[in-house]
Structure 1
Amino acid sequence: MSNSRYDHISDQELLQRHLQERDSSWLGILLERYTLLLFGVCMKYLKDETQAQDAVQQVFLKVIQEVHKYRIDYFKSWLYTVAKNHCLSVLRDKKRTVPVELTENNSVTEAPEEDPEKEAVSPELLKEALESLNAEQRQAVILFYLKKKSYQEISASEGYSLLQVKSYIQNGKRNLKLLIQKMLKKAKKDNG
């Protein structure tokens, strides 16, 4: 469905059609209408193009899952609020967690402000930790961080929904971080 064919239909009418007919294509037209607005909002808060693109996808998923739970009088305002809250949540989470970054050379590094001793993880340790993840998490983490695939590309190639991809990546990253920390502690204990 090309969006311009539906320019004459108001946001409210598209939303009503989606809710009444349970046809997600109406919601798709509505979301497509505000993709640039969403991207702008996410850039304003996150100040990083890749993070903003990911945030737009997350907001889309959230809207698809939750739009039916609310009485929405002004879709554009509601969508803006959902996007803003998502970005603020991302920023809060960033401050709370010590990010583990998988880099091109397969080493994992801690954020320097959190860990002054900053330990690089050997590729062997990373490989061992990756192999300890379940198959879905391992595959999603490898594709996303090491092969730089988008959520959509992973979803298409692996047959997972976008929500599953997000879950596998987030849980995989968290589990990988915990495994590596555990392995590093054990190595220190064994050597010390």
Structure 2
Amino acid sequence: MTEAELIAGCQRADSKAQKHLYERFAPQMLGVCRRYLKNEMDAEEALLNGFMKIYRNIGQFENKGSFEGWMRRIMVNEALAFLRKKEPLHLAIEDSHVQVAGTGSADQDLAEGELLALLGTLPAGYRAVFNLYAIEGYAHQEIADMLGITEGTSKSQLSKARAMLQRRLTGQEVITTN
């Protein structure tokens, strides 16, 4: 089934088309949700809620731009909404979770799972801004509007997220569990 056929079928509420759409895009969209939400079950719930919104609002897709991009935006918004309910998007970092270690090398290759796990260690606000900017490609003003923060706060959180990731990649900072 082509993408155009899938869209048309979903606009008619054809359950077969909806199933095909889910099977085709769920793995990628779950990856989007997992970048924002630490817990796998939360990511899956956001994914399902996102697909329900896609099915309900597919008539609003005007075939302008990428359909996958349109779906991705819905998933990002759904994950952010879920994140707001589950984790505060504040800037505070509790010192009890951070331990300084010896220096290491940041030129190591990271598998996708390792990178996802590393992103998951960031505080919620840092993680959301980093994902929106570095991975999704949003501008700071768009991020500020999406998260209800200032553009300066978005820039600050991105800078702090990058610094924290760099320290963790080089082994200068490791996460300890209490």
Scaled to the shorter chain, the TM-score interval is 0.3 to 0.5
Query: Which has the higher relative contact order, 1 or 2, with Cα contacts under 8 A spaced 6 or more apart?
Result: 2
TM-score, with structure 2 as normaliser? 0.44
TM-score (norm 1): 0.41
